[in-house]
Amino acid sequence: MISNKAPIQPALSKVATSHISRLLTPTDVIIVSFNAHWSLTQSPDSHSLWPCLSVLRPELLDDILREKPQEADGIDSVVVVDNVPQVGPERLEKLKNVIHKIFSKFGKITTEFYPEADGMTKGYIFLEYASPNQALEAVKNADGYKLDKQHTFRVNLFTDFDKYMNISDEWETPEKQPFKDFGNMRHWIEDPDCRDQYSVIYEAGERTAIFSNDAKEPITVEERARWTETYVRWSPKGTYLATFHQRGIALWGGEKFKQIQRFSHQGVSLIDFSPCERYVVTFSPLMDTKEDPQAIIIWDILTGQKKRGFHCESSAHWPIFKWSHDGKFFARMTPDTLSIYETPSMGLLDKKSLKITGIKDFSWSPGDNIIAFWVPEDKDIPARVTLMQMPSRQEIRVRNLFNVVDCKLHWQKNGDYLCVKVDRTPKGTQVYGEGGVLNLFISRVNLTCCFLLTESIIAFAWEPNGSKFAVLHGESPRINASFYHVKNNGKIEPTLICMYVHQHCCMSCVQCLYVFFSVCSMNGALAFVDTSDCTMMNIAEHYMASDVEWDPTGRYVVTSVSWWSHKVDNAYWLWTFQGRLLQKNNKDRFCQLLWRPRPPTLLSVEQIKMIKKDLKKYSKIFEQKDRLSQSKASKELVDKRRAMMEEYRRYREAALQNYHEQKSIRLELRGGVDTDELDSNVDDWEEETIEFFINEEIIPLGDL
């Protein structure tokens, strides 16, 4: 038995000493065994300190004991790397530098251990990171890393060894999960009248409705209050409707728009889908840490599981990730780097990024796993546009460009052509962007063509299905709209079809029809042009219109005045593709309209050709149906009126029955006199004439 002034105190660590001197009183005593005293004096900062402190009045050392290291502490941060080269002492230092360079990308390495036998390393190593999250990141990204032809790393957590060694030999049947029937997820495509659907947000976002488009009036499919907190988004094939909430994203679908999935991401503000609708990407500016990236999260739509998180420095250019057409790859651009990831592992393709000095922009082909990117000029090295095949990373096309200020990449829908809109400076111009001309470079994989326009190009757009494109060029207020057709007769030759002059135009196109829509002026001028024969079908206007949206079939177009842009005259108008106004739908504080996309057709090319060949036969049926719809009310309207009439009849019958049941009460109240009919009890009637004086006024007429 020794007092607290015994020589044991100097042997404790400074932290423990400060706690003990603060907690013990002069009357306290400490009972320490000889072995415990030895461990304190020999290794005061080691884990053996804690058995000794456990006898120092535990109720007084509660805050210290809570920090007592556990036996497994630190093991979760250790990774084991197999298939490491076996080297001797002369090459060990070089191997350590290579290993440290590869694995330090995932976090701070605190300890490295290289087991040796007979003067050679054993082919596996242990690395300890500062945190378990960094160790997990190393396992995800470095497992399968190919160091050279003979060595491919296999990376595992140290704790995984115990987990896999203790696997039971007895097979346990997985528990069956209940099947959730969400109905037909593509029911709207089976509509007999081929009506498309669209979503509408109005009342400043308080109400969201889904309508089925009809030439006479929209048909309500679903309508809910406070369905979303900001706006909505359709998935690329129209299967899901995404709504935004403070705690995350919700996906809805099926005939009754049931909730399909939820993704918890606090403060989510942006969303993006993969083209295959297998994954969804969410962005939140609120949730992100250095160890656990959560600014951008990729989710699996079917399972609802988080696939991977990423950091995000800025969301100014959303989406951060661009997807390949089949959803097998997605890419992200950072300074001098193009990182391409593959699904479903969400890991870097070939475990490394592409080093592309000065890369400015890139774009995936809509028809193949080909990625296009451009790099600006650097001193004597010209700018270049490159087409690269994935996943082989083979450069299949490179084009050098000179005097380049900026480039914009525009793929045709099928990926057959790529237009590179190039902003150039003329010869002798020292300042970029002053008086420059623009070059349109149309590229196929094996063919190229260039032609110049001496006027400034404002906008460019491909037609959705075909090889025509439109260009807005010139200077305000005189802006020209030119239509071209790309012919491929062994040589690409863009041919001018026609040109129109408009003022303050921006462009929206569908099939072989183009609409020029003015948003720069308040009158909202519209011009409907058929480029097949260069016919101006109609000229109209929608005052203060802020948006224009084509339906997926190209039969209708909507112009709208959004409450987000203007606080008055909020409405959306429905037009035919010929420019005939069908509807004016005024919605209180109308905000947003989005057409529901359609999935790709299941018809083969031969079947489509047969339909086009027999189009005249189908046209007669459609024209007859259109005439009937114009002369008669739609089936839905007739059903609605019939239901209202039936409801009125039921109400009338109930009122008459109640009226007859109360007749005896009326007779009793009226002394047995039946007053239900006007001509009842005529014999009891008495006629009486009443006269009364109203007024008298004398007006003198004067002398006549």
Q: What amino acid occupies position 353?
A: S
Which pLDDT belongs to residue 515?
A: 64
Mean pLDDT of the chain: 79
Both tokens assigned to 194? 């081929």
Where along the chain do its domains lie? Answer: 78-165, 606-652
SS3 215: coil
Which pLDDT belongs to residue 506?
A: 56
Q: Is the pLDDT of residue 601 over 50?
A: yes
Instruction: Give, for 50, the enclosing helix (H) or strand (E).
Output: helix 49-53
Q: Is the pLDDT of residue 435 over 60?
A: no
Q: Dihedral sign for Cα 379, 381, 384, 387, please.
A: negative
Which pLDDT belongs to residue 16?
A: 38
The answer for residues whose C-beta is within 8 angstroms of residue 349's C-beta and 6 or more apart is 329, 340, 341, 342, 390, 391
The answer for residues whose C-beta is within 8 angstroms of residue 473's C-beta and 6 or more apart is 438, 453, 455, 456, 457, 458, 479, 480, 482
Look at 361 and 317; give whichever has higher pLDDT.
Answer: 361
Mean pLDDT for the stretch of residues 397-416: 85
Determine how many CB atoms are found less than 10 A away from the CB of residue 462. Answer: 20
Highest mean pLDDT among 158-172, 219-233, 286-300: 219-233
Which pLDDT belongs to residue 450?
A: 67
Asked if residues 597 and 238 have their Cβ atoms less than 8 Å apart, the reply is yes
Q: Report the relative pairing of strands 322-323 and 329-334 from DSSP bridges.
A: antiparallel
Strand partners, 341: 330, 348
Of 504, 525, 528, 502, the closest CA to residue 514 belongs to 528
Which pLDDT belongs to residue 113?
A: 92
Determine how many CB atoms are found less than 10 A away from the CB of residue 103. Answer: 24
Asked if residues 585 and 573 have their Cβ atoms less than 8 Å apart, the reply is yes
Taking only the tens place, the pLDDT of each residue in 560-591 is 999 998 888 899 999 998 889 999 999 999 99
SS3 481: strand
- Residues 183, 194, 365: CA angle, nearest 5 degrees: 85
Which pLDDT belongs to residue 497?
A: 83
Task: Indicate the Cα dihedral angle 338, 342, 347, 353, nearest 10°.
Answer: -20
Give the model's confidence band at 558: pLDDT under 50 very low, under 70 low, under 90 confident, else very high. very high
Mean pLDDT for the stretch of residues 462-491: 78
Q: Is the pLDDT of residue 454 over 90?
A: no
CA distances from 367 to 326, 370, 412, 660 (A): 9, 8, 9, 75
Percent of the chain topping pLDDT 90: 32
Q: Output DSSP code: residue 475.
A: E
Which pLDDT belongs to residue 444?
A: 59
Q: Is the pLDDT of residue 429 over 50?
A: no
Could you tell me how far CA 550 lies from the centroid of its own chain? Answer: 20
CA distances from 197 to 36, 223, 238, 275 (A): 78, 13, 10, 20
- Residues 214, 216, 222: CA angle, nearest 5 degrees: 45
SS3 244: strand
SS3 641: helix
Both tokens assigned to 406? 């900026």
Roughly what angle, to the nearest 10 degrees, separates helices 605-613 and 615-631? 70
Give the model's confidence band at 251: pLDDT under 50 very low, under 70 low, under 90 confident, else very high. very high
Give the model's confidence band at 445: pLDDT under 50 very low, under 70 low, under 90 confident, else very high. low
Both tokens assigned to 410? 């525009």
Asked if residues 145 and 138 have their Cβ atoms less than 8 Å apart, the reply is no
Which pLDDT belongs to residue 243?
A: 96
Which pLDDT belongs to residue 79?
A: 92
Look at 704 and 636; give whichever has higher pLDDT.
Answer: 636
Mean pLDDT for the stretch of residues 284-288: 77
Asked if residues 108 and 134 have their Cβ atoms less than 8 Å apart, the reply is yes
Asked if residues 282 and 270 have their Cβ atoms less than 8 Å apart, the reply is yes
Taking only the tens place, the pLDDT of each residue in 8-64 is 333 333 333 333 333 333 433 333 333 333 333 334 444 444 444 444 455 556 566
Taking only the tens place, the pLDDT of each residue in 327-351 is 999 999 988 999 999 998 899 998 8
Q: What is the CATH number of domain 78-165?
A: 3.30.70.330
What string of H, E and C letters represents the secondary structure of 289-300?
CCCCCCCEEEEE
Instruction: Give, for 119, the enclosing helix (H) or strand (E).
Output: none
Mean pLDDT for the stretch of residues 625-641: 70
Q: Is the pLDDT of residue 413 over 70?
A: yes
Taking only the tens place, the pLDDT of each residue in 154-178 is 999 988 887 777 777 888 887 887 8
Mean pLDDT for the stretch of residues 139-155: 84
Both tokens assigned to 59? 């109720």
Q: Is the pLDDT of residue 109 over 50?
A: yes
Mean pLDDT for the stretch of residues 206-226: 92
Q: Which spans in 196-283 are helix H?
A: none
- Residues 689, 691, 695: CA angle, nearest 5 degrees: 160
- For residues 281 and 290, what is the distance between their CA atoms, to the nearest angstrom? 20
Q: Output DSSP code: residue 681.
A: T
